Amino acid sequence: MTDPTRRHHANASSRIKKRKPEATECSISRLPDDMLRVIFCKLPIGMLLNDCRHVCKSWGAILLDPDFGNLYLSLKEPSTLFLCMKDYTTLHWLEFQGEQCFFNPVANFIKKYQFVNSCNGLLYLREYRSRNPYFDDLVMYILNPVTGEYMCVPPAEVGRDLETGLSGLGFSPQTNEFKAIRIYKLDVKNDLQADVYTLGNGSWKTVGTAPDILESCLFYHWGYMKAFVNGAFHWLLVDMDDDLDQIITFDFETEQFGSIALPEIVEFEGYQILNLGVLGDSIYFCGHDKIESAESKEIWVMRQYGVVESWTKMFVIENEVGVQNPFIFRAIAVFDNGDVLLLWDKTLVWYDQETESYTLLSIEGRAIVHELRFALLKDDAKGDGPKVSRV
């Protein structure tokens, strides 16, 4: 495969074209397009999309070129990217490059929305409602923040008692398709059912019954108890009697349910699991002993996917940041140097493992790790599916 960096540099001389300067054009705009592309690749994504794209038509054309996306991903500065939602209406890019932090707007919504999850560059959102958040047939959206495209996921059939807390977006690498899953009941007497929607198709298809344990377990803090990793969606289920704690999985390739056992420590009386998430390419959970160390939080990581014995306690974090409601806690990401970005209630906190010190960032809101995807949503949504619109 040809190195995209070399290809662009090698063809620079043959691709230089003289163009008429625009009225708003500055001196940097007179540089060859290939040189501009390389410069753009050094910028954080928020600055690129919000500022550079609107400087002039020629810059916008470069940044909207599908080939630029591949070049940007190959040349961009190493960074960790997040999406941050504030007040359910404002979506921001949050990007860390070395010791620098960039915070740029993505979109402002008229209605209120909540994160469901992020998957391979697409963001799954649900309409926010303060009442009956688990059993309302809420409107669900799929958004590509890079291209600004979104689509509404087809609603459930009338009469379904839809558990929107048990839903998620995933990706099937074998078929190269995005899929969403939802779990619902037709009525209180029937079994739980599972539907799958392939992005671009016009309707949902039933894939059979869902495990009964999904109904018998208490599913609380729904936004913190789910994760997509290794081609499967994961729900952390906590039973009211503390004897059925486990992770239920749904494989988007086989469209089958499975389960993953938790380490023996969760069987101890008084141990409480607070959230499930993904650190790097591994699944993790955060928990603590409510009786012995309520303020301490343990991060357990499954080093080898599916192998129960590989659960490892990665580190322990003490609540020394003085944030209210310390039980609403999430380890969002672990950086290469071992530092951790935490979400403590609505406050983002930087934890330095070497010094065991905390820094409260001047940013509030829910944050999730996100990848960049430059492909158009209309190309991902193959078939006669819902209409693709722009924010």
Give the residue with greater pLDDT, 293 vs 128.
128
3-class state of residue 224 by DSSP: helix
Write the class of the CATH domain 80-390: mainly beta
Q: Which of 219, 223, 250 is nearest to 234 (CA)?
A: 250
> What's the confidence (pLDDT) of residue 121?
92
> What's the confidence (pLDDT) of residue 86?
80
Q: Which of 196, 160, 198, 159 is nearest to 178 (CA)?
A: 198
- Determine the Cα–Cα distance for residues 68 and 72; give it in Å rounded to an integer: 6
Q: Are 37 and 29 in contact (CB under 8 A)?
A: no
Q: Are 120 and 380 in contact (CB under 8 A)?
A: no
Give the residue with greater pLDDT, 385 vs 256.
256
| Interval 200-228: pLDDT, tens | 777 888 898 888 777 655 455 455 678 89
Q: Which of 193, 182, 245 is nearest to 216 (CA)?
A: 245
- The answer, yes or no, to whether residue 132 has pLDDT greater than 70, is no
| Interval 315-332: pLDDT, tens | 887 766 555 555 566 778
Q: Are 112 and 42 in contact (CB under 8 A)?
A: no
Mean pLDDT of the chain: 77
Question: Angle at the Cα of 303 (from 313 to 273), degrees rounded to 5?
Answer: 45
| Interval 51-77: pLDDT, tens | 888 788 888 888 878 788 889 888 887
Helix H or strand E encompassing 104: strand 100-108
10 φ, ψ to 5°? -65, -35
**Domain formed by 4-13+24-75, architecture:** Up-down Bundle (1.20)
Residue type, position 334, single letter: V
- Determine the Cα–Cα distance for residues 86 and 361; give it in Å rounded to an integer: 14
Domain boundaries, the chain: 4-13+24-75, 80-390
Please report, rounded to a whole number, the percentage of residues in the chain having pLDDT higher than 90. 14
> What's the confidence (pLDDT) of residue 14?
35
